Amino acid sequence: MHADKWAIKAKQSGFKTRAVFKLEEILIKTNSLKGTQKILDIGSAPGGWSHYLKLKLPKSEIYAIDILEMEDITGVNFFQKSIELIDEIPQINQLKGKFNLVISDIAPNITGINTVDIENIYELNLLTLRAAHRYVENNNGKFIIKTFQNSMFKGLRKEMGLLFKTVQTFKPAASKKQSAEIYLYGAKKQ
């Protein structure tokens, strides 16, 4: 499908952004919606993924964090905080090890200096990966993170392999071919 068609499809479906189709493809291929009740959305603003998941799973409990403000979404518990400080949010902290699904679309501000940007992405992804490991359910929890194909990608995948039993890489159809973005999926269960 042409890239703009995804934007039209998103509008027709009542979704906030075309990016939901990237998440949706991975969720379907990995059967990650089944039995999912508690969801943690990291780097959630402006709220496209949280909104999509609340529509798909109306009974789910969704917790979302971002450094930017996010418009209210009914049924989504949003906290304006950096991932670095996630443990300081009591409502989230008390749910350590209880999330069925953790998703991250987190992306740092780009400086334009390639080496600095690559390092910043890696550091932020690593923080997110470690937080996901603490918060996701240990038996069957799932984690999906957007990252970028660069010189640190292999290292990140390796780190994920130390914390999750299964690790898979996805390049969803709705992700532009020329974009370096790529997704990692980790499952606690083999």
Residue 56 falls in the annotated catalytic set: no
Q: Which of 22, 38, 142, 146 is catalytic?
A: 146
* 8 A C-beta contact, residue 144 and residue 24: no
Task: Give the rounded distance of the alpha carbon of 5 from its chain centre.
Answer: 23
DSSP string, 101-160: EEEE---PPP-S-HHHHHHHHHHHHHHHHHHHHHHB-TTT-EEEEEEE-STTHHHHHHHH
Q: Is position 48 an interface residue for ligand SAM (rule: CB under 6 A)?
A: yes
**C-alpha separations of 97 from 85, 92, 131, 141, 155 in Å:** 17, 10, 10, 9, 25
Interface with ligand SAM, residue 107, by CB under 6 A? yes
Stretch that binds ligand SAM, among 32-40, 61-69, 155-163, 181-189 (CB under 6 A): 61-69
Which of 47, 141, 172, 186 forms a contact with ligand SAM (CB under 6 A)?
Answer: 47
| Residue with the shortest CB distance to ligand SAM | 48
Which is nearer to ligand SAM, 61 or 139 (by Cβ)? 61
Q: Which stretch binds ligand SAM (CB under 6 A): 7-15, 93-101, 106-114, 172-180?
A: 106-114
Site for ligand SAM in 68-97 (CB under 6 A): 68, 82-83
Q: Of 75, 108, 130, 166, which lies in the binding site for ligand SAM, with binding defined by CB under 6 A?
A: 108
- Are 106 and 81 contacting, i.e. CB atoms less than 8 angstroms apart? no
Mask of contacts with ligand SAM, 157-186, x by CB under 6 A?
------------------------------
Q: Are the beta carbons of 132 and 84 closer than 8 angstroms?
A: no
Q: Which parts of 6-45 interact with ligand SAM (CB under 6 A)?
A: 17, 19, 43-45
Q: How far is CA 51 from CA 54, 104, 174, 184, in A?
A: 5, 14, 18, 21
Please report, as ranges, the residues that interact with ligand SAM according to CB under 6 A. 17, 19, 43-49, 65-68, 82-83, 105-108, 124
Q: Give the residue numbers annotated as catalytic, written as ranges.
A: 146
